[in-house]
Structure 1
Amino acid sequence: MSVTDAKILPKSFHAIRALELARETLQIEADAIIALRNRISDQADDPFAIAVELLLNCSGRVVVSGIGKSGHIARKIAATLASTGTPALFIHPAEAAHGDLGMVTENDTFIAISNSGETSELMAIVPTVKRMGATLIAMTGSDSSALAQLATVHLNVRVDQEACPLNLAPTASTTATLALGDALAVALLDARGFREEDFARSHPGGALGRRLLTHVRDVMRSGDAIPAVTAEVSLSAALLEITRKGMAMTAVVDDRYHAIGVFTDGDLRRLIEQIQDFTNVTIADVMHANPRTIGPDQLAVDAVHMMEQYRINQLLVADAEGKLVGALHIHDLTRAKVI
């Protein structure tokens, strides 16, 4: 954390008190999470392990519910589960009591979140959820709470104190509940073998989705847009091809259209320092042989890595047989927002 473009205020009682409270709040919440961690045993019959097994075996969806601050945490847990391979949704308990409970089926697993375990809005719908046949997982701060007693499995998220100086506002308790929800999501994605590609498919509009779903073939230039000449053409003719195709380079191909060389604008600038008369120079005389290539089915982000590794701005695309099928410029990757 830093302060920029602002006047540094002199230390005052309020500033010092704020810093003390900040450190104290973070320490209390950190201690709450550590205590929660220590509460989870290494035994297969630990409530956390049972909850994970129930969620893995759920043939429907995971429905997460809570009200107030617990409702906000429930929304986030549902969103995290959904984005990591476990179909999940949030329902508001008050709305559920007025029709939204129709979203819940006997095949679902219902996660009810309440620090007290006595929240009236949840307790009004939980008996119906149980009668439907849905599995009930409770996350509360008390093993003896009414909600915990009704649950198939209870995850205790008790904290010794809230970070609020009045010990009233949900702070450490919501942090602990959120952390336990994240732990469930991580355990589930690991058990499901959830991979980066799976995450990208549920985030197609984000930067990660573009990086993991965009392939070279999606952004490469192909057909007549590929700058290419044969080895026997003059350097002058090759320069015309470079100018026409606008990629600041040209591939050099053999009679089977295999890429055997490459020549770039940078090569030309360096060449001018050595040769003034290009009349009798062929592209084969000055090209870089055995150019670097990438396959069309590789991820576009792999092309970025190659360009960065070898400090180049262009890359030829070749199929499994070595035939030139495309060309990439770093600007193509930028336009596709892969970079």
Structure 2
Amino acid sequence: MNELINDLLRREADAISTIPVKEGYEAAVEILYERIHQQHGKLVTSGMGKAGQIALNIATTFSSTGTPSIFLHPSEAQHGDLGVLQPNDVLLLISNSGKTREILELIDLAENLYPNLPLIVITSNEESHLALTADVVLPTGNPKELCPLGLTPSTSTTVMTVIGDILVNLMMRRIEFSSEEYAKRHHGGYLGHKSRRLAKGMERLAKEKS
């Protein structure tokens, strides 16, 4: 059992280490910075199934670190939730295959409402219609799933999560996000307490230097 677990961990780690690092990350950060932090738009993430859960996690992490973001369910978008979109928003869509019907339909719906919204895509299929439609493609590297059937999203969702984490961290650096700002957005729990303590420490150091 331990040998199997170690092998699974190694395969997950290998998948993360082989995520393609391309210029798309820099382009994505600049789009997010311009549309959200300069033009007061927001990030709208979306995905179906497991990819949707990753998209939701990315949205909440962005919001807590200074970049307003929401998750839009692609099916609910067809029943009125599309109205959450605004002219200066950015779409971040996740589809491992790049062929998810609901995501492709969401692009058409969004285009009909507000033409030319910037589109960032996380996918394993760089030749898919979704990828070819995007302004920026962040490829996963198409790792094989850990699932013994090769079907259940596992390794693919791991790398999607990591790509989201990278984007969040790059944006935090781009906007120089501070512990004080974090504390304003995350009041409760251990992280709220820790961020307020860090903010007070930074304030004390600044006073000492002055």
Give the counterpart letter for 1:26 in structure 2: L
- Give the Cα–Cα distance (whole angstroms) in 2 for the partners of residues 153 and 301 of structure 1: 37
- Give the Cα–Cα distance (whole angstroms) in 1 for the partners of residues 202 and 134 of structure 2: 46
Match of residue 116, structure 1, among 82, 87, 97: 97
Question: Could you say what secondary structure the match of 1:97 adopts?
Answer: helix
Match of 1:98 in 2: 79
CA contact (8 A) 1:143 1:154 kept: yes
Distance 1:213 1:120, change over 3 A: same
Q: Deviations over 1:192-221 (max 9, x none)?
A: 01011111111111233235447xxxxxxx
- Give the Cα–Cα distance (whole angstroms) in 2 for the partners of residues 35 and 144 of structure 1: 19
Match of residue 10, structure 2, among 24, 27, 38: 27
Distance 1:143 1:202, change over 3 A: same
Match of 1:55 in 2: 32
CA contact (8 A) 2:179 2:196 kept: no
Query: Which structure: greater strand fraction?
Result: 1
Higher relative contact order (CA 8 A, sep 6+): 2
Distance 1:116 1:300, change over 3 A: closer
Q: Tell me the TM-score normalized by structure 2.
A: 0.87
Query: Which structure: greater helix fraction?
Result: 2
The reply on whether 1:136 has 2:119 as its aligned counterpart is yes
Q: CA RMSD in A?
A: 2.2
Distance 1:152 1:302, change over 3 A: closer
Gaps of 5+ in 1: 1-15, 215-297, 304-339
The percent identity for this pair of structures is 39
What's the CA shift for 1:130? 2.8
- Give the Cα–Cα distance (whole angstroms) in 2 for the partners of residues 130 and 154 of structure 1: 18
The reply on whether 1:65 has 2:46 as its aligned counterpart is yes
The reply on whether 1:191 has 2:182 as its aligned counterpart is no
Match of residue 156, structure 2, among 160, 163, 173: 173
Aligned length: 198
- Give the Cα–Cα distance (whole angstroms) in 1 for the partners of residues 201 and 17 of structure 2: 41
Gaps of 5+ in 2: 205-210
Runs of 4+ in 1 over 4 A off after TM superposition: 300-303
Question: Could you say what secondary structure the match of 1:102 adopts?
Answer: helix
Q: Deviations over 1:10-63 (max 9, x none)?
A: xxxxxx3xx333222211111111001xx214xxxx111111111111130000
Q: Deviations over 1:236-293 (max 9, x none)?
A: xxxxxxxxxxxxxxxxxxxxxxxxxxxxxxxxxxxxxxxxxxxxxxxxxxxxxxxxxx
